[in-house]
Chains A and B, each alone.
Chain A
Amino acid sequence: MRWRPGPITLILASAALVPLVDLALPESLRISEAVRGVFLYAILALGLNVVTGYAGLLNLGIAAFMAIGAYAFAILTCEIYPFQIGFWPALMLTIPIGALAGFLLGAPTLRLRGDYLAIVTLGFGEIVQDVLKNLDTITKGTQGINPLPGPSFGGEQWTSSNELGWYYLLFALLVIVVMAVRNLERSRLGRAWFSIRQDELASRSMGIRVERVKMLAFSTAAAIAALAGGISASVLSSTGEPSNYDFQVSMLALCIIIVGGIGGIAGVLLGALVMIGLNSIVLVKATAALAAMGIGGQGNVLLSPNNWKYLIFGLALVLAVRLKPDGLLPPRIERSIR
């Protein structure tokens, strides 16, 4: 049989080519740096997709785990702390740390259903931010922790100027996460997740240990989100401030998976591209183009293109779900069940 690439392969293959395309474009049209942001959000959204897409548990606090990953990475590597274990060990450690945090949140809340669970995760997101802000002797509060190391290859420490390197490092991480999630999806555990999403009671009577399976969904999602946090802190060489990981980030991740097509990997990838691409590529370039044409900047509030960003972003969300209620690329499994 002839091999035909699926949508995931196609999306990833096109992503791999972006820097090459960029070489050919004038500076103002280059997008590879913005695409790095797409990769980060794609990793985060793939994590959220495990808990919300596969297991059907609405999580509104995924950004909290990203924060935990970022701060764990920072504390383990930054030169102002005693650990300084280096890029790779720290990045690997963000995964179990995130999983543990997911476990700690998940354990007491397993009995909760639907939107009660949603508010607890939302509350957890707020609590994590407050704790990071208030425990400033450990986390440096709103100062953020910096500088954070990148990887070093051949004795050379990467800096932000190594654009191509970062691009393909993030790309490789995304591919690894995609492969991991894809294997999970097809495993016994993955089928158990689909099963409890469809009908918890039936699953329980079929012998699925619902609590355990939910727990694993929480932890897996948290681990992936923490990895996204760790790598994003490394790219920026700073954790930023705790409010960089607020509810808005969680909401954006949720919008990505739903606009893309909840429950499917290809959909999530496409969703990240569309939503983040709209925000950090289309809107940014359009604003710059309008400014170059002399539009915007002064006087009336309506004249500044920046003041329209919320509206455009909101309209895009409404239109996306209106036109494609199941997402841009709904997963096939879903269809067969219906």
Chain B
Amino acid sequence: MQDYEVFVQQLITGLSNGMIIALIALGYTMVYGIIELINFAHGDVFMLGAFLALTLLGAFGMEAWSPAWKFAGVIMMLGGSALFCGGLNWTLDRVAYRSLRKASKLSLLVSAIGCSFICTNLGLFWGGLPMGVFAGGVSAAAPKDFPQITPQTNLLGESAIRITQADVMVFFVTIPLMIGLVLLVNRSRLGRAMRAVAQDSTAAELMGIPVDRVIGMTFFIGGALGGFASVVYSLYNNTIGFQMGYRAGMDAFTAAVLGGIGSLPGAVLGGLTIGCVRAMSDQYLESRWTNTIVFGILVLILIFRPSGLLGSTRREKV
């Protein structure tokens, strides 16, 4: 491989990984934007979405389907996981967060940490289902193979640079979702209500906006984005496990903060930055230092831009 080919390949890898991180980060940042909660359970909701996708795949035997049907299968998984994760996130809000709206932010944080543990445990149980795709559920905790239903052939033929269907799929799913989300937040009635609640929930309530319902919807949409992300992640990486939510959540959280927490374009930019920094650090430095470099860059950026790359510079509490 030529040097420039290596660079281009790493860029493709970085952007694909970054897009997935960005999609998860969007769910984080929406919830944060509206109630200032670092939703630690988000990564684990995402993980359960991936388990649902694998269950659907196994239950319908999608591996044996023809390519056109596989495409329909992917749509079905995307829809199923999005609804499921959205519903789960909404339920968590209803059960574990809503009663804490008036309490301190930190109590809310602990409730989210608790939900994260509960979801992790549910993932462990889920991995024990006696299904073929979970290897009969014999060892529940083991990582699960998510069968490749998008082929891995190189779309560029004999070129040393590889772009596979998986890479293309990542962009085809995430970009429309992001555009749709921006439209939803900026153009729709619900979006306007969400922005109003984020600005000042008391004032919004006085103006007749059903604040709890809007927050609930935000959790649903944030969770649904996590659900979409879980299917994209699973199709791209082909392995899922009950502890994957921790890392996914951590990356997404970092991306959301890097971009300016609460900002939708910021979350995307943050995700892409992290994806690319990881890839370049693996290539040109040593992979054992990659985490240090990612967080080092985060600290540097925050020192110079204390509200993240695209965050608002509005000061708290003034």
Q: Do chains A and B touch in the complex (CB under 8 A)?
A: yes
Binding site for B on A (CB under 8 A): 52, 58, 108-109, 111-116, 118-120, 122-124, 126-127, 130-131, 133-134, 199-201, 247, 251, 254-255, 258-259, 262, 300-302, 307-311, 313-322, 325-326
Indicate if B106 sits at the interface (CB-CB under 8 A). yes
Question: Chain B residues near A316 (CB, 8 Å)?
Answer: 114
Which residues of chain A are within 8 angstroms of B137 by Cβ–Cβ distance?
301
Q: Do the beta carbons of A300 and B128 come within 8 Å of each other? A: yes
Which residues of B are in contact with A by a Cβ distance under 8 Å? 32, 36, 38, 96, 99-100, 103-104, 106-111, 113-122, 124-125, 127-128, 137, 140, 250, 253-254, 257, 261, 288-289, 291-292, 295-296, 298-299, 302-303, 306-308, 315-318
Given contacts A108-B299, A124-B295, A318-B96, contact A310 B124 (CB under 8 A): yes
Contacts A126-B291, A314-B118 given; does A109 touch B298 at CB 8 Å: no
Interface centre among B119, B127, B302, B308 (most CB of A within 10 A): B302
* Contact residues in B for A259 (Cβ distance below 8 Å): 110
A303: nearest chain-B partner, CB-CB: B128
Q: Decide if B303 touches A127 in the complex (CB within 8 Å).
A: no
Q: Bound state CA distance, A112 and B121, in angstroms?
A: 35
Tell me if B110 and A302 are in contact (CB < 8 A). no
Can you identify 17 A-B contacts, CB atoms within 8 angstroms?
A: A113-B306, A113-B315, A113-B316, A116-B261, A122-B253, A127-B295, A130-B289, A134-B292, A201-B317, A254-B110, A255-B110, A262-B104, A301-B128, A302-B128, A310-B118, A317-B114, A326-B104
**Which residues of the other chain, B, contact A52 by a CB distance below 8 angstroms?**
106
A301-B125, A325-B103 known; A119 vs B298 contact (CB < 8 Å): yes
- Name the A residues within 8 Å of B288 (CB-CB): 130, 133-134
- The answer to whether A127 and B117 have CB atoms under 8 Å apart is no
- Docked CA distance A17–B32 (Å): 46
Taking a contact as CB atoms closer than 8 A, the residue among B116, B292, B315 that contacts A314 in the complex is B116
Asked whether A116 and B307 contact (CB < 8 A) given A258-B107, A315-B114, the answer is yes
Q: What residues of B have a CB within 8 angstroms of the CB of A301 in the complex? A: 124-125, 127-128, 137, 140
Residues of the A chain whose Cβ atoms lie less than 8 Å from the Cβ of B317: 199-201
Chain A residues, CB < 8 A from B32: 115
Contact B302 A120 (CB under 8 A): yes
Chain A's closest residue to B128 (CB) is A301
A residues in contact with B127, CB < 8 Å = 301
Min Cβ gap B260→A in Å is 9
B127 to chain A, nearest CB (A): 7
Rounded to whole Å, the gap between the CB of B18 and the closest CB of chain A is 18
In the complex, besides A120-B299, A314-B117, 16 extra interface pairs with C-beta distance below 8 angstroms are A115-B261, A116-B307, A123-B254, A123-B296, A123-B298, A123-B299, A126-B295, A131-B292, A133-B288, A134-B292, A254-B106, A258-B109, A262-B104, A307-B125, A311-B122, A314-B120
Given contacts A115-B257, A200-B317, A310-B121, contact A109 B302 (CB under 8 A): yes
Whether the pair B121, A130 counts as a contact (CB closer than 8 A) is no
Determine which of B114, B257, B289, B299 lies in contact with A318 in the assembled complex, contact meaning CB atoms within 8 Å.
B114
Q: How far is the CA of A314 from the CA of B44 in the complex (A)?
A: 12
Contacts of A58 in B (CB 8 A): 106
What residues of B have a CB within 8 angstroms of the CB of A111 in the complex? 303, 306
Q: Do B117 and A322 have beta carbons less than 8 Å apart? A: no
Q: Say how far B104's CB is from chain A's closest CB, in angstroms.
A: 7
Residue among A308, A319, A326 making CB contact with B103, cutoff 8 Å: A326
Q: How far is the CA of A259 from the CA of B104 in the complex (A)?
A: 12
Which residues of chain A are within 8 angstroms of B121 by Cβ–Cβ distance? 307-311, 314
Counting from the closest, the 8 A-B pairs by CB-CB distance are A314-B117, A317-B114, A301-B128, A123-B295, A325-B103, A314-B118, A311-B121, A310-B121
Q: Which residues of A contact B250 (CB under 8 A)?
A: 122, 247
